[in-house]
Amino acid sequence: MRKKNPIIYGVILIVCALLQNSVFTSLHIAEIRPDFTLLLLVFFAHQLGTMEGKIIGFLAGLMMDILGMAPLGFHSLIYTVIGHLFGLTRGKMYVDSLTMPVVFAIAATLIVTFTSFIIVIVFLPLRLSSVLSIGVLIQIGMHAVLAPFIFALLRVFKLCSEHETQML
Amino acid sequence: MEGLRRFLSRHRNGVVFVVLITISTIAIGTQSQSVNSASKHIGYSIFASVQSSAAEVGHFFGNFVNSIGELRRIRQEYEVLQEKVNEYKTIERDILDLQSENTQLRELLDFSQKMPLSHVAARIIAKEPGLLFDGFTVNRGRTHGITEDTPVIAYAEGFSSLVGKVVEVTDATAKVLPIIDRSCFVAAKMRESRYEGLLHGLGAADGLVEMTYVKKRAKNRIQFGDLVVTSGFRSIYPEDLYIGRVDAIRAPEWESSLTLEIRPLVDFTRLEYVFILLGENE
């Protein structure tokens, strides 16, 4: 399989992380905002593999940590894990237009929640209720709804290829 | 050393993962404010301007998209307001009509109250559609005390002006023959000079009446615009009801009398209300 250029994916992801903090802030339901960077990272990692997945995940997370209120390392750790795990699916899973994007999105959100939970327990003086709240369910729903559309969009721009995935 | 290189080469993926996780963990773990805030601050100061620019661009596009929606909303509001303006224009016209009618009716009421003759006010409900006849129908009839040959007057230019006479009566309506009809004759006189004559209509097309049998010697004493009134001499019409003003004077050599063209005070094309005279007020 012909490998994609990870730099393009990395730039897109970092730009998305940048925009998420500044431009997409008005997109929310009950103050719960979808994590577009996470969704992109999932699909990009699936396209690129573990090595590139975790590196672009780390960089995007670092950007979010710098620009956001989270402590440095928080998102970079989580996105590194996400990039690594979904990079493992490269060539092992057939991603259709609907089901697998939804499954990926739900799984990614749950992993993020779980990882955040661990980080909060170990490092941060935050209340666990802020991690495990009804907002997680809303965000899972949002990601599940958005994932097929984002995947379709990526396919349009040839950033994700269903065919190549199937071939592996 | 060679072993380490081989190990790193073989487990490159895992090593990178561990390194990245370690860096992140250390970053989180070293939450001692000075270190963390300093490193974050450096990164933030680098990317803040980029973030700001991105936000500005996003804001611009957001405003642009919003302005499209705003434009649509304004257009809808404009259409609604336009409809309202049209509605109000119609209402304004109605109000002006009502004001005009109110003024007219007030004048008529005032006129009616001051009139010394007993009368019935009536509204014209029908007019002759053709050109040959000039009658109209009013909404008062026999039940209101109206009989045939009853004089009909109207308020015009501040005068009680002659309109015509009733020629046919039903219980609820009456037909009126106006003075402009060719078959209507009225004994008339000049209000100032008191010269008498016989007046008859010239038809609705002209809207004029003609006064004949006026003595020729009156020629020098009759002016354009002089008022003509009913003479009351052996007539169904009471004396001194205004008819019109002199519009033209004709004095043919071969005739022994003058012929005057009289323009009625009443504008028959705009006549709406009339008064049917019943007799002297007690």
**Is B16 within 8 Å of A55 when comparing Cβ atoms?**
yes
For residue B132, the model assigns a pLDDT of: 52
Nearest to B20 among A19, A22, A58 (CB): A58
End-to-end CA distance of chain B: 142
Which residues in chain A touch residue B58, judged by CB atoms under 8 angstroms apart?
19, 22-24
Q: Are A116 and A78 in contact (CB under 8 A)?
A: yes
For residue B1, the model assigns a pLDDT of: 74
**Is B20 within 8 Å of A119 when comparing Cβ atoms?**
no
Considering only alpha carbons, which residue of chain A is nearest residue B14? A51
**If you ran DSSP here, which 8-state letter would residue B220 be given?**
G
Question: Which of residues A99 and B117 earns the better pLDDT score?
Answer: A99
Structure confidence by residue, pLDDT tens digits, B153-186? 988 777 788 999 998 888 888 888 889 887 888 9
pLDDT reading at A162 higher than 70: no
Question: Which of residues A28 and A72 earns the better pLDDT score?
Answer: A72
> A60 CA to chain B: closest CA distance, Å?
12
> A33 CA to chain B: closest CA distance, Å?
17
- Alpha carbon A148 to its chain centroid, in Å, reads 14
Give B137's contacts (C-beta < 8 A, 6+ positions apart). B124, B125, B126, B127, B173, B174, B175, B176
Share the mean pLDDT of chain B: 83
**pTM (2 d.p.):** 0.51
Give the mean model confidence (pLDDT) for residues B243-270.
Answer: 87
For residue B32, the model assigns a pLDDT of: 45
Considering only alpha carbons, which residue of chain B is nearest residue A51? B13
CA–CA gap between residue B247 and residue B268 (Å, rounded): 17
Which residues in chain B touch residue A22, judged by CB atoms under 8 angstroms apart?
51-52, 54-55, 58
Which residues in chain A touch residue B27, judged by CB atoms under 8 angstroms apart?
65, 71-73, 76
Mutation pick from A11, A72, A80 vs chain B, by most beta carbons of B within 10 Å, is A72
> B49 CA to chain A: closest CA distance, Å?
11
CA–CA gap between residue A65 and residue B208 (Å, rounded): 100
